[in-house]
Amino acid sequence: MAVIAETPLPDGSTIPVFGLGTWHMGERRSAFEAEVAALRHGLDLGIRLIDTAEMYGSGGAEEVVGAAIAGRRDAAYLVSKVLPSNASRQRTIRACEESLRRLGTDRLDLYLLHWRGGTPLEETVRAFEDLKAAGKILRWGVSNFDLDDMEELAGISADCVVNQVLYNLTRRGIEFDLLPWQQQRSIPVMAYSPIEQGLLAEDKTLAGIARAHGATPAQVALAWVMDKPGVMAIPKSANPARIEENLAALGLRLTDADRTALDRAFPQPRRRQPLEMI
């Protein structure tokens, strides 16, 4: 069983730097058992962090996760998200309760606002605090928040512990401003699509670096993401072998020459860019 490092959160707790994403799970009933088995295999390997959302499969992904963690809830660190259309005070509470029902648990380790909508942030934050007081969530954060959003949120509450955003070698915009801002405040970035939905697994630069390490391009992409302080990765896979491959990226140590080659192939941002989302 792997021992996965953890990074600190602002509330004094810690969160694993590597986890399992579930985007696109729960969309086909015919894939349900295979998806459950894949997540269980991840838990068997020692991967505790599982990220899901009420949006994924219209709740289907949460049902997959619920089946996977049945009888072993304490082995998992559960993250789910509320849609902005449900982000009012009462609707957030109801949405969380529905997520808990689908997940078959009485609590979430972390609950995120999936992205900003029309509801004032103050109202959603009040709902999160209500849920914390009731023990239904242990902590809360956000997703797809750009720097302006995070600064506004910081003026409302200091209790946000994570911002989950799109981040990989081809999507480096957050390095210009958002990532340094969060690092200065010890608010980790949870990187979704860290392999760019598999596209980086075909990249020639990554393939060359991978050969030198006896690794795969996908492992190089994941190692690069987790090479940054306060950044975690949540690749999605329903393939047990691919989960094992992704997990092995934790043992890959990039060299300065590797980083230079990757910066040359995937340049760092030179100016502020709008936050990318997919």
Per-residue pLDDT of 216-240, as tens digits, reads 999 999 999 999 999 999 999 999 9
Burial code (b: 16+ CB inside 10 Å, e: under 16) for 199-231 equals ebbebebbeebbeebebbbbbbbbbbbbebebb
In 65-144, the DSSP E strands lie at 77-82, 110-113, 140-143
pLDDT per residue as tens digits for the range 41-93:
999 999 999 999 999 999 999 999 999 999 999 999 999 999 999 999 999 99
From the candidates 56, 77, 111, 167, give the one annotated as an active-site residue: 56
CA distance 237 to 205: 23
Rg from Cα positions in the chain = 18
3 state SS of 167: coil
Listed in sequence order, the residues at least 6 apart from 256 whose beta carbon sits closer than 8 Å to its beta carbon are none
Q: Is 56 a catalytic residue?
A: yes
pLDDT over 80 (residue 2): no
CA distances from 123 to 84, 157, 181 (A): 12, 11, 24
The pLDDT, as a whole number, for residue 89 is 97
Arch. (CATH architecture) of 15-198+230-238? Alpha-Beta Barrel (3.20)
State the pTM of this model.
0.96
Mean pLDDT of the chain: 97
The pLDDT, as a whole number, for residue 29 is 94
